[in-house]
Structure 1
Amino acid sequence: MTKQVVIVGGGVIGLLTAFNLAAEVEQVVLCDKGEVGKESSWAGGGIVSPLYPWRYSPAVTALAHWSQDFYPQLGERLFASTGVDPEVHTTGLYWLDLDDEDEALAWAAREGRPLSAVDIAQAYAAVPVLGSGFGRAIYMSGVANVRNPRLVKSLKAALQALPNVVLKEHCEITGFSREGETITGVETASGAIAADRVVLTAGAWSGELLGTLGLNLPVEPVKGQMILYKCAADFLPSMVLANGRYAIPRRDGHILVGSTLEHCGFDKAPTEDALESLKASAVELLPALADATPVAHWAGLRPGSPEGIPYIGEVPGWQGLWLNCGHYRNGLVLAPASCQLFADLLLGRAPIIDPSPYAPAGRL
């Protein structure tokens, strides 16, 4: 039995990895350079679907489908055990005036997903606050959003209740301990932490950490900015998406509008230009927001990766070092499947899906 696993990075991927491993190993130590769940896991919108699922590879689709089916029971389990409801909120999603609508419908037919073209009048009847001028709509029922700050709060509470899990916040990892080509732990400012297995789940920072071993992991920060409004609880009954921007309703009437896609390194300062662009998109989608002032505006850093396919598995050439990172725009979407697949691989169980597309071997 694996005795001690050290997980580097406490976003939703790291937290759920720890949650899945805790019953199977003697001890889990999760380290984060700040507070857990405060980077991209907190900053994202939480739509439990890739924004344009038909544009992704089958590798992303496989993880997304498994996760979408699993999220409701994950939310219920966490709520029951912690009292913190992640609010998995099923609203469905309307895409408006898509250029590649035919491809979307063909994908849905091929994958058996509940996405279909609807008359635009039907979309306006379902979402009366929708902006005028849209001519076409497709709709997928069953699409949920998860209130991601509450999800990470719930996962943290679940881990704190487990006697064999240690959360080390404000604990920056500076490198890896090693004996020859075996990773034996991690290095921190206050000393080394020994481990049988080290798991890198550090999001946009994963590439920098793996670079300390001379490995090139093509994961880079991609900035995204969001704004938040507060409306009546029944203001927006469904998620809507047009021209690359979306509006997401929470159960209490908060409306998230996002997001930008910016390649500017590790700078995550919100900008005035992005604020004005997001407000314009908000008004285009939902004109009633013209008279509202955003109650919040923030930015986060996504872990950009080639084709958005995450790295899940052991690092070749370094025994004991494992990856679960590089989920790009879909960390919250893919987390349940990614973390279940990861646990299967680390523990030597039959994997839930074919693990080969995510294997680090040949991709570093």
Structure 2
Amino acid sequence: MNHYDLIVIGAGIVGAACAECAAREGLRVAIIEPGPVGGGATAAAMGHLVAMDDDPAELALSRYSLALWERFADLPQAEFSRCGTLWVAREPRELDGVAAKVARLAAAGVRARQVDGDELYRLEPELVPGLCGGMLVPEEAVVYPPRVALHLLELAQALGADAFIGHRAVALTAAGARLDDGRELAGPVLIATGCALPELLPQLPMRARKGHLVITERYPGRVRHQLLELGYADSAHGDADSSVAFNVQPRPTGQILIGSSREFGASDRAVSMPMLQRMLERAFAFLPMLRELQALRVWTGFRPTTADGRPYIGAAGVREDTWVAAGHEGLGVTTALGTAQLLIDQLLQRAPAIDPAPFLPARVLR
């Protein structure tokens, strides 16, 4: 039986980040992944690196993680692009909360400012006429999540981590975990399997939320910033069975990535034409020129969602030497690096840089 200091189950961007962080700390690490690295929720992510301010705990984790992302700003395969985020208001009432948002972000160390209608169109001339302004967060960025996940895994392997790719962890054992080929690994276990978390830890509830994405052919310069509607958080964090919101990104390749949709209760990966049309019509309402562009690919995926919208990060609370990093929904890419550091600090019994209490799995076990 192989013995490890940490067995990471799941090689999405969160699991890969945890494996790399642990290996960097000198721990002997194993990472288990049955499918392609970064092929689950990571492949269904838009790759935005944004600070969301509607929940103080989420803002603290986002801000902490964004600082750690600077380490990869010059990594070619990450496709890191500091395009900035432009939040767009359709109606004057949507601007009412912008000053408070700017203040919350500033208190967390994130630079943002309100923009009026004239500046909005100087920044993004293709936006539909009649918009009244928004908020610019100039230092935010986008990345290509699957490649980052693979790079993090490679960094962990270079530091001595063992990767069991193409194998599934079928059970937790008294000593660690059992693989689908019968091998047993011994050591503390970290479960970072997203939507599949209840398969190994049924005590921790998780809901899968389906999303659609569209990427176009190359149209460099047509969109300059990541664009979101100011009502995006209501869609992302609401509990409606289905919702759409305007979210468009310029990729470094010149392509344009279009989102976003969210559905509870959908269990198949097939593209839903009604949902896709609903999502695209929302995007066209803000950016009419998208109607003229050629789509290259449409795909779906499932994002893991907890009941309170906060991920589980910390000791599982139901088994000794079992840890969890899962349930990040649409912020898994932004918060992956912060999640990893927060988790490994707890594992090593060090004081974390931010308060881990809002994310501890024990909150749902009371």
TM-score, normalised to structure 2's length? 0.88
Moved more, 266-275 or 290-299: 266-275
Kept in 1, the 8 Å contact 2:86–2:134? The answer is yes
Structure 1 residue 25 displacement after superposition: 4.4
Aligned residue in 2 for 1:196? 187
| Kept in 1: contact 2:13–2:146 (CA 8 A) | no
How far did 1:273 drift? Answer: 1.6
Q: Deviations along 1:215-242, whole A, 9 cap, x unmatched?
A: 2x12111111110112332221111123
Distance 1:206 1:100 in 2: 37
| Aligned: 1:232 with 2:233 | no
**Partner-residue secondary structure (3-state), 2:262:** coil
In structure 2, the partner of 1:181 is none
Larger mean CA deviation between 284-293 and 197-206 belongs to: 284-293
Q: Is contact 2:41–2:303 with CA below 8 Å preserved after alignment? A: yes
- The structure 1 segments of at least 4 consecutive aligned residues displaced by more than 4 Å after TM superposition are none
1:68-217 matches, cutoff 5 A: 68-76=66-74, 79=75, 84-97=76-89, 100-112=94-106, 113-162=110-159, 164-178=160-174, 184-211=175-202, 215=203, 217=204
Report the secondary structure of 2:102's partner residue. helix
Q: Deviations over 1:176-235 (max 9, x none)?
A: 112xxxxx1112221142222000000111123202xxx2x1211111111011233222
Q: Distance in 2 between matches of 1:256 and 1:136?
A: 22
Q: Work out the CA distance in 2 between the residues paired with 1:337 and 1:41.
A: 16
Task: State the alpha-carbon separation in 1 of the partners of residues 60 and 72 from structure 2.
Answer: 18
Whether the 8 Å contact between 1:92 and 1:140 is mirrored in structure 2 is yes
Report if the CA contact (8 A) 2:115-2:134 is conserved: yes
Task: Kindly tell me the number of residue pairs found equivalent between the two proteins.
Answer: 344
The answer as to whether partners of 2:72 and 2:80 remain within 8 angstroms in 1 is no
**More displaced stretch, 339-348 vs 315-324:** 315-324
Question: Structure 2: which amino acid aligns with 1:64?
Answer: S
Q: Do 1:207 and 1:220's aligned partners in 2 also have CA atoms closer than 8 Å?
A: no
CA contact (8 A) 1:71 1:88 kept: no
Q: Which runs of 5+ in 2 are unaligned?
A: 232-244
Q: Alignment partner for residue 65 of structure 2, among 61, 64, 67?
A: 67
1:267 aligned partner, one-letter code: D
Aligned counterparts of 2:121 and 2:24: Cα–Cα separation in 1: 48
Residue 138 of structure 1, CA deviation: 2.0
Tell me, what secondary structure is at the counterpart of 2:69? helix
Question: CA offsets per residue over residues 73-132 of structure 1, 9 Å max, x none?
Answer: 2344xx3xxxx5212211122222265533342132134132222111111111112222
CA distance in 2, matches of 1:315, 1:288: 48
CA deviations over 1:18-57 (Å, ceiling 9, x no partner):
000013345211111211101111221111115xx232x2
RMSD of aligned C-alpha atoms? 2.0
User: How far apart in 1 are the matches of 2:264 and 2:104?
Assistant: 34
Conserved 8 A contact 1:199-1:322: yes
CA gap of 1:3–1:273, structure 2 versus 1, over 3 A, is same
Instruction: Give the whole-Å Cα distance in 2 for the aligned partners of 1:240 and 1:317.
Output: 41
333-342 vs 126-135, which moves further:
126-135
Residue 298 of structure 1 pairs with residue 299 of structure 2: yes
| Residues 191, 323 of structure 2: 8 Å contact kept | yes
- Asked if 1 retains the 8 angstrom alpha-carbon contact of 2:81 and 2:143, the reply is yes
Q: Which amino acid aligns with 1:237?
A: R
| Matched-pair contact (CA < 8 Å) for 2:58–2:310 | yes
Is residue 75–residue 85 contact of structure 1 (8 Å, CA) maintained in 2? no
Which residue of structure 1 aligns with residue 48 of structure 2? 47
C-alpha separation between the residues in 2 aligned to 1:304 and 1:110?
Answer: 25
Is the Cα contact below 8 Å between 1:54 and 1:104 reproduced in 2? no
Q: Do the aligned partners of residues 27 and 220 (structure 1) sit closer, same or farther apart at CA in structure 2, a change above 3 Å counting?
A: same
Given that 2:195 and 2:303 are in contact with CA atoms closer than 8 Å, whether structure 1 keeps it comes out as yes
DSSP-derived class of the 2:49 partner = coil
Query: How high is the TM-score relative to the length of structure 1?
Result: 0.88
User: What one-letter code is carried by the residue in structure 2 that aligns with 1:185?
Assistant: G
Which SS does the other structure have where 2:364 is aligned? coil
Rounded Cα–Cα distance in structure 2 between residues aligned with 1:168 and 1:350: 31
Residue 262 of structure 1 corresponds to 263
Deviates further, 11-20 or 243-252: 243-252
Mapped contact 1:96–1:136 kept (Cα < 8 A): yes
User: Aligned AA for 1:161?
Assistant: A
Does the aligned pair in 1 maintain the 2:68–2:337 contact within 8 Å?
Answer: yes
